[in-house]
Amino acid sequence: MLAFGMALVLAISGAISRIAPHSQILVEYERTGGFAGVDVRVTVDESGTVVLRTGRFALTPAELRDLRGDLHLITTHSSSRAGCDIADHFTYMLAHHAHRATRCLLPSDWRPAVTRLDGLAARGGDRTG
């Protein structure tokens, strides 16, 4: 468990280090697990730069506005282990502003943002999702 935690910290710090030092992080998202071993990681900074393991690209102003709108809908800010005992479950981590939460069952208020972030991962060529 400690090794997993360290790997997670290193992965997150790696994503953060690929964003310009003067940028602020808007959102960090991870979806891991499942039968196929999915490992999707997306970081978006306040300017709309999307950083993936496979590269980076910029959102249009409309895309950034829509992402901010989806993030504004999130009211579930606590972590939960519910659903984590299901074989081949997905684990979702979402960090936005001062909140960071991990869930195995996707809260309905996370769904619009998660759908959009998964789409950004696919658009950027992240084929692990």
CATH of domain 2-123: 3.30.1560
Structure confidence by residue, pLDDT tens digits, 79-118: 999 999 888 899 999 999 889 999 999 999 999 999 999 9
Contact 28, 93 (CB under 8 A): yes
Domain coordinates of the chain in residue numbers? 2-123
Q: How far is the C-alpha of 65 from the C-alpha of 72, rounded, in Å?
A: 10
Dihedral angle sign, alpha carbons of residues 65, 21, 13, 54: positive
User: What would the two tokens of residue 9 be?
Assistant: 């910290």
Q: What is the band of 125 on the pLDDT scale with cuts at 50, 70, 90? A: confident
DSSP summary character for residue 32: E
pTM: 0.79
Q: Mapping DSSP to helix (H, G, I), strand (E, B) and coil, where does residue 79 land?
A: coil
